[in-house]
Amino acid sequence: MIKDAKFGTLLIHAGQKPDALNAVIPPIYQTSTFTFKDAQNGADCFAGESDGYIYTRLGNPTVRVLEDAMAALEGGFGGIATSSGMAAVTTVYLAFLSAGSHIVSTDAVYGASRSVLEKHFSRFGVESSFVDTSDLALVESALRPNTKLLYIETPANPTMAITDIAACARLCADKGIKLVVDNTFCSPYLQQPLALGADAVLHSITKFINGHADVVGGVIVTKTESDHKLLYNIMTSMGPNMDPHQAFLVIRGLKTLGIRMERAMANAVKIAQWLEQHPAVAWIKYPGLPSHPQFALAQQQQEGPGAMICFGLKGGFEAGKKLMDNVTVAALAVSLGGVETLIQHPASMTHAKVSAEAKLRAGITDDLVRYSVGIEDVSDLIADLENALSHVSQ
């Protein structure tokens, strides 16, 4: 590939090397193990003196294509692909936290990224604090002498609160604190945390990167070789690996990330503007609207506002349920970032059994609707919302 290839070219070609038969698309190396040519070759592979493959938990050529592509797209040293987004999150925690260390995280962080700390890492003596990381003063005052990791999600799920990555990097500098960013909502097409000073970036690949709602997966990209080695060691010994078939599908999805994002984002801008004017809508949080509390930061830090919209209905809980029961184009489902539009009313669906306190903590109010914009015709999406909202009392 040409030197200094741009993002759109990297999306198509990064990580791909010709195989023995010059296949245009990386084959699925659906094999658990690899033969050594002879005893010496086996010894060299294990000593790291040959780049041959050994065993799929330790590395697989199809998975490596995806890892190298993601490293190129995020501008990092290397990538590690995992079986799920949560496997990526826990691998990061395992790498950067030990007994007695402390993590500061975004309060509206993805639910499982929080609960794994509170329920499990706490058993091993890890302390955690959750603050609104969009307020830097709160981040600074949460840091302790034993803080080892500042873990931020921006934009956060589902509040759409935006955290200043470069400012967080400055807070961590010289304190021995690693800064890791969950970049799931933006993808590297819109936001490149390593260039803003983060040590590592991770994704639920399930969402925008794969983009077709047919794979669950994750990836971590580190800035330095030493962090890559640390994470690689955890991955190969604990085994949260991505499998080759999963990687093949993600490589296929990744190629269209740019055009999918452009279309979904253009749809999202129109839908957000339309929703903001609608009499049944009480509030809307979309980084592309000047009404977003961090509109200026979003414009500076992100290449675009993304395709996730959160809004509240004046009719509250019942209106949310009515809306869900009357949409016909948007599908009622969790997850996000696919070519199909998904809608979710957490209070009556995913969080129906969750305590009021826990819902509040997660930023989920009874009126909140989350809308993941797909690439359908925007006029159909707006007509669908218009019809469904006509059933909602204001």
Which residues are annotated as catalytic?
57, 110, 182, 207
Q: Binding-site residue total for ligand PLP (CB under 6 A)?
A: 14
* Distance in angstroms (rounded) separating the CA atoms of residues 286 and 256: 23
Which run of H or E residues covers position 71? helix 61-74
Q: What tokens were used for 58?
A: 């330790």
Instruction: List 285's β-bridge partners, or say none.
Output: 310
Should residue 70 be labelled a site residue for ligand PLP when binding is judged by CB under 6 A? no
Nearer Cβ to ligand PLP (250/385): 250
Q: Which stretch binds ligand PLP (CB under 6 A): 24-32, 78-86, 238-246, 303-311?
A: 78-86
Should residue 158 be labelled a site residue for ligand PLP when binding is judged by CB under 6 A? no
Per-residue x/- marks for ligand PLP, 171-210, CB under 6 A?
-----------x-x-------------------x-xx---
Instruction: List 281's β-bridge partners, or say none.
Output: 313
Nearer Cβ to ligand PLP (306/315): 306
Of the candidate residues 15, 79, 85, 312, the single one contacting ligand PLP (CB under 6 A): 85
* Distance in angstroms (rounded) separating the CA atoms of residues 13 and 60: 18
Nearer Cβ to ligand PLP (158/315): 158
* Distance in angstroms (rounded) separating the CA atoms of residues 64 and 250: 12
DSSP 223-287: SSHHHHHHHHHHHHHH--BPPHHHHHHHHHHHTTHHHHHHHHHHHHHHHHHHHHH-TTEEEEE-T
Nearer Cβ to ligand PLP (91/206): 206
Give min distance, CB of 379 to ligand PLP, in A: 28
Nearer Cβ to ligand PLP (56/184): 184
Q: What tokens were used for 134?
A: 């969009």
Give the distance from CA 205 to its chain's centroid: 7
Positive or negative torsion for Cα 152, 155, 159, 163: positive
Of the candidate residues 56, 60, 62, 84, the single one contacting ligand PLP (CB under 6 A): 84
Site for ligand PLP in 339-358 (CB under 6 A): none
Place of tokens 């085994």: 239
Neighbours of 20 (CB within 10 A): 6
Q: Are strands 342-344 and 331-332 parallel, antiparallel or unpaired?
A: parallel
Q: Which stretch binds ligand PLP (CB under 6 A): 82-90, 257-265, 318-326, 386-394?
A: 82-90
**Which residues make up the interface to ligand PLP (CB under 6 A)?**
84-86, 110, 113, 153, 157, 182, 184, 204, 206-207, 216, 218
